[in-house]
């Protein structure tokens, strides 16, 4: 959510986003929250547990309801080479576990988890370390017949993320990525990705961005999302095929990822108007958010994939979810007593 001031409760949203970052107060709150029982209970609504076992159990339950999943091992902006290597090993272990239990699940990862920040100071990112790790993870995905979606982080990382995804996709590895409707650069990025037949997940954008890079008003972001959504759906049939060797889950190339019911209904109407088969694209929603809508879309025959975050490093993720809807804060506080 890029445009906190434009929403009702903008100050609270801006404060929550600031607390999700790396400022000293955010760091202190994070250390306290992630180690307290109170904090863990707080995160349970949006995070599928602390371990891979917890997350796989959640995925299997979703699969039984006809919902696919994408596992997201939480963690971002690792500061050391060792932590980046460990994140890559963990990603490969997750792909192995998905295959072992034959879950209908893909993997979502952030490049700053694989070391994009190591040796750099935020703006001047170093691709080599993350590239080496991502290549290994994608090779494991290819062996398993699976696909990895590279999440999109703040706009300091957009160019490096896209360049790496395009490079590894050109090497024939099974990778897709995310485009954020809020960013002014996105229409051009989207065209380039589609021309290479790279799968895309369309989101609004979860980060606070400056006006020169991003639309600031919610109405402008929504309007942009609507335009890009039509473009993505037009391209969907050309991207519907699973990547080479893909055997499980048959993730589609194109995903409409939002909880915004108005935009979801517009996507449904547009897909029907264009005569798109339900298998041509998928809706994606976050674990624990609008579960009613998740079930409803699935019952209507659409493909639905749930993004399932897990792991002990849940604090920045939770803060972004609270910033999107500060009413969640009230909901969580109320339920702490139960
Ligand atoms: C599958 C998936 C993957 C994503 N990956 C990325 C990524 O890689 N990079 C990135 O920048 N962003 C990512 N996002 C987040 C996205 O950018 C938005 O910040 C987030 O989805 C909220 O925007 P919205 O589209 O739901 O619309 P909004 O306009 O924010 O919300 C519309 C309605 O949805 C419901 N809603 C939205 N958020 C919440 C919430 N937190 N709790 C409860 N209800 C809520 C409310 O009813 C709200 O009125 C992802 C989102 C999804 C669904």
The answer to whether residues 240 and 194 belong to one domain is yes
> Would you say the CB of residue 224 lies under 6 angstroms from ligand 1?
no
For 154, the token pair is 């703040």
For residue 146, the domain's CATH number is 3.20.20.220
Note whether 259 and 273 are same-domain residues. Answer: yes
SS3 state of residue 152:
coil
Asked if residue 259 has its Cβ within 6 Å of ligand 1, the reply is yes
Alpha helices for the chain (secondary structure H): 10-20, 24-35, 37-43, 52-64, 81-100, 127-144, 158-170, 186-195, 218-239, 261-273, 291-299, 315-324, 327-336
Task: Please tell me whether residues 145 and 264 are part of one structural domain.
Answer: yes
CA–centroid distance, 73 to ligand 1, in Å, is 18
pTM for this predicted structure: 0.90
Q: Give the structural domain span for 56.
A: 50-311
Ligand 1 midpoint to CA 204 (Å): 7
Residue 151 a catalytic site member: yes
Q: Is the CB of 203 under 6 A from ligand 1?
A: yes
Q: Are residues 151 and 300 in the same domain?
A: yes
Average pLDDT for runs of 10 along the chain of length 338: 49 75 68 71 83 96 96 90 94 97 95 85 68 96 94 96 95 95 98 94 95 96 98 87 47 89 98 92 95 96 96 84 79 61
Looking at the structure, tell me whether residues 37 and 17 fall in a common domain.
yes
Query: What spacing in Å lies between the alpha carbon of 23 and ligand 1's midpoint?
Result: 24
Q: Buried (b) or exposed (e) across 47-77, using 16+ Cβ within 10 A?
A: bbbbebebbbebbeebbeeebbbbbbbbbbb
d(CA 221, CA 1): 10
Domain co-membership, 307 together with 165: yes
> 166 and 191 share a domain?
yes
Which residue has a Cα nearest atom 35 of ligand 1?
A: 259
pLDDT, tens digit, 9 for 90 and up, residues 261-298:
999 999 999 999 999 999 899 999 999 999 999 999 99
Do 178 and 261 fall within a single domain?
A: yes
Please tell me whether residues 114 and 256 are part of one structural domain.
Answer: yes
Domain count, the chain: 2
Catalytic residue among 72, 104, 117, 151: 151
């Amino acid at each position: 959510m890029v445009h906190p001031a434009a929403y009702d409760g903008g100050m609270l949203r801006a404060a929550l986003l600031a607390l999700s970052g790396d400022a000293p107060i955010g760091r202190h709150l994070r250390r306290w929250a992630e180690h307290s029982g109170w904090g863990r209970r707080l995160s349970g609504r949006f995070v599928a547990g602390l371990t891979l076992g917890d997350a796989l159990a959640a995925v299997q339950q979703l699969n039984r309801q006809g919902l696919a999943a994408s596992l997201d091992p939480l963690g971002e902006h690792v500061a050391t080479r060792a932590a980046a290597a460990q994140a890559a090993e963990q990603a490969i272990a997750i792909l192995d576990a998905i295959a072992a239990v034959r879950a209908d699940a893909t993997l979502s990862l952030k490049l700053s988890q694989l070391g994009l920040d190591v040796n750099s100071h935020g703006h001047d990112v170093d691709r080599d370390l993350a590239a080496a790790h991502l290549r290994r993870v994608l090779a494991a995905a290819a062996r398993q017949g699976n696909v990895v979606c590279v999440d999109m982080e703040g706009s300091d990382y957009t160019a490096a993320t896209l360049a790496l995804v395009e490079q590894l996709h050109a090497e024939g590895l099974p990778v897709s990525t995310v485009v954020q409707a809020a960013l002014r650069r996105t229409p051009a990025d989207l065209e380039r990705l589609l021309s290479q037949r790279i799968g895309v997940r369309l989101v609004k954008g979860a980060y606070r961005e400056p006006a020169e890079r991003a639309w600031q008003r919610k109405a402008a972001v929504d309007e942009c999302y609507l335009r890009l959504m039509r473009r993505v759906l037009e391209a969907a049939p050309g991207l519907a095929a699973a990547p080479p060797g893909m055997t499980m889950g048959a993730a589609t190339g194109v995903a409409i990822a939002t909880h915004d019911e108005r935009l979801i209904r517009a996507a449904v109407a547009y897909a029907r108007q264009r005569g798109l088969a339900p298998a041509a694209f998928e809706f994606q929603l976050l674990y624990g958010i609008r579960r009613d809508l998740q079930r409803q879309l699935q019952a209507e025959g659409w493909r639905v994939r749930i993004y399932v975050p897990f792991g002990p490093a849940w604090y920045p993720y939770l803060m972004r979810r609270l910033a999107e809807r500060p009413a969640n804060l009230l909901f969580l506080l109320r339920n702490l007593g139960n």
